[in-house]
Structure 1
């Protein structure tokens, strides 16, 4: 009887843990932390979709405030990312070539989790992608810019060469022409993405300065709500809510979310054995 109780307890604990993991919002981007303005998210979805169509490699991006909010309390991000990868089944089940990019903003950690098909040498490439593309922007609180640059770096430096059966790209010497060009391109990307993110935050600041149309007090609160996620063929719907703390009344502004652009093909049942790289800032 005692052994049965232990087994039941273990089963219930495992079941509760599995249930606490989030379901993906899409096979490309699950932006639970709302780090990406709609325009940036549309570009990231497009990059992931085209990358998968060209290489066959499924790359999925996930953002969270804290992994503890999504079933990861007390876990290392390496273990949590592996569990989430295997629960969702990222990548092709036969090739095990999927890639999961997990960003936990308030934890100040991220992980590129690689499928079981990647040899350990690809962990070094994943670390270079994190160090070069993600972390410099994250340390400056430019999350949208870092994610967009990092997603493209993941596709170009991991997915493409792996799919082509090419050896992992060698690290480039400091100060090469390629590095200089990359710095220029990254700078232009930062400016573009920064402008989009700036517009998003400016909207909130401006809302705080607006007068309530009902009572005339300043200091409106503004938040964004997604009503319908976009699909491969249809646009999604969202609303911007502005409310007045003084009188409690508010207004709702609808907006559209770009479609997934014929994307992904869903999750293929791939698995990870724990390979990849971690970044902290």
Structure 2
């Protein structure tokens, strides 16, 4: 009888799904950490947690925002987005008065992932960036059964989103692919003519004070711009020499018409190329499309978008003075390395009503979210 009871208890422990946690039971990260992994298998590796913590420290130390990653097994019957929003506002992720927090929340057994953005970084351009990070970086990694890669890519993408937000770049234009086209012109490459082209979404930045009045219109323009970009990319082409319709080659066949640097850009996801082939003339055109927030920069030597940037804080920003960071760009194509230093703004003093648990901890800064961000599943 005792052996039977032991078997039943073991079956219940190992054969039943993990019980969902509650918002109230999720512990705040320990001081100096910005990640929480409550999965039974401890999915996140120490190396990835350290990378996320470094990214989050870089943002917080410069006063740009706060980034947290939380992974649980399941939220049970509670929708994952509702759970993540409640957790965000319970902790108050972000600095008070700026609402510059971002939460990457994963319900691993439920196969659900959420991005929650603070109200200060929830403009249309931020939403587009969040959708891109979710669709192009996080979900594909989960589908490859690489949860640590998904968290690493998601955290890097959200760090870039916060850094590039209008909140931290007042008056700046929205990100576009224009920087990818500097000084480029059509190049002849054997029988293939390379036409460097890109269609940028409309500029949503505005210096006018009534931002709320134009927010809806900017969102519509952004959607129209993305739809227009897709249509222009796939519209039929004809060969100028013979008038025959060109055929768009698939990803496997178009590699033969790309040089090694271009193939490297495609493998990294920083740039996508289309090859339109004329069978009659045996001639093709290569069209270039830069991707938003790919996480890679243009290499100063080979000029391909294959450089990965990492930053190191040389002097932390305080409430009295700005800081300084060292940015290292290492090209994954030609191995060229460049190093530069940049000044960072002073930190913004939190309001007296904000909570204060630890000066350098991942405790809340009084931020709030109304639910902006993105959802994904795999």
TM-score (norm 1): 0.58
Q: Distance in 1 between matches of 2:28 and 2:75?
A: 14
What are the Cα deviations for residues 186-245 of structure 1, in whole angstroms up to 9, with x where unaligned? Answer: 9xxxxxxxxxxxxxxxxxxxxxxxxxxxxxxxxxxxxxxxxxxxxxxxxxxxxxxxxxxx
Structure-1 residue corresponding to 2:169: 164
Which of 22, 28, 31 is the aligned partner of 1:24? 28
Structure-2 residue corresponding to 1:116: 119
Q: Distance in 1 between matches of 2:71 and 2:23?
A: 19
Instruction: Tell me by how many angstroms 1:88 deviates.
Output: 0.8
Which SS does the other structure have where 2:156 is aligned? Answer: helix
Which SS does the other structure have where 2:132 is aligned? Answer: helix
Instruction: Tell me by how many angstroms 1:75 deviates.
Output: 2.4
Which of 129, 133, 148 is the aligned partner of 2:137? 133
Which SS does the other structure have where 1:169 is aligned? Answer: coil
Alpha carbons 1:127, 1:279 under 8 Å: kept = no
Q: Distance in 1 between matches of 2:37 and 2:118?
A: 21
Which SS does the other structure have where 1:67 is aligned? Answer: coil
Instruction: Tell me by how many angstroms 1:105 deviates.
Output: 1.1
Which of 45, 54, 61 is the aligned partner of 1:53? 61
- CA shift in 2, pair 1:18/1:104, >3 Å: closer
Size of the aligned set, in residue pairs, is 185
Structure-2 residue corresponding to 1:107: 110
Alpha carbons 1:81, 1:111 under 8 Å: kept = yes
Task: Write the mapping of 1:182-221 to structure 2, written as runs, cut at 5 A.
Answer: 182=296
Q: Distance in 2 between matches of 1:64 and 1:32?
A: 5
Q: Which has the higher contact order (CA 8 A, sep 6+)?
A: 1
- CA shift in 2, pair 1:51/1:140, >3 Å: same
Alpha carbons 1:100, 1:112 under 8 Å: kept = yes
Q: Distance in 2 between matches of 1:25 and 1:181?
A: 26
Structure-2 residue corresponding to 1:266: 363
Are 2:377 and 1:280 aligned?
yes
Instruction: Tell me by how many angstroms 1:86 deviates.
Output: 0.5
What are the Cα deviations for residues 22-78 of structure 1, in whole angstroms up to 9, with x where unaligned? Answer: 12123511122222111221122112111322352001111111123xxxxx32222
Q: Superposition RMSD on alpha carbons, in Å?
A: 2.9
Structure 1's unaligned 5+ residue stretches are 1-16, 69-73, 187-261
- CA shift in 2, pair 1:140/1:161, >3 Å: same
Q: Distance in 1 between matches of 2:81 and 2:173?
A: 25
Alpha carbons 2:122, 2:373 under 8 Å: kept = no
- CA shift in 2, pair 1:263/1:131, >3 Å: farther
Alpha carbons 1:55, 1:159 under 8 Å: kept = no
Moved more, 17-26 or 126-135: 17-26
Structure 2's unaligned 5+ residue stretches are 1-20, 178-197, 200-271, 274-287, 297-304, 309-358
Instruction: Tell me by how many angstroms 1:89 deviates.
Output: 0.8
Alpha carbons 1:125, 1:168 under 8 Å: kept = no
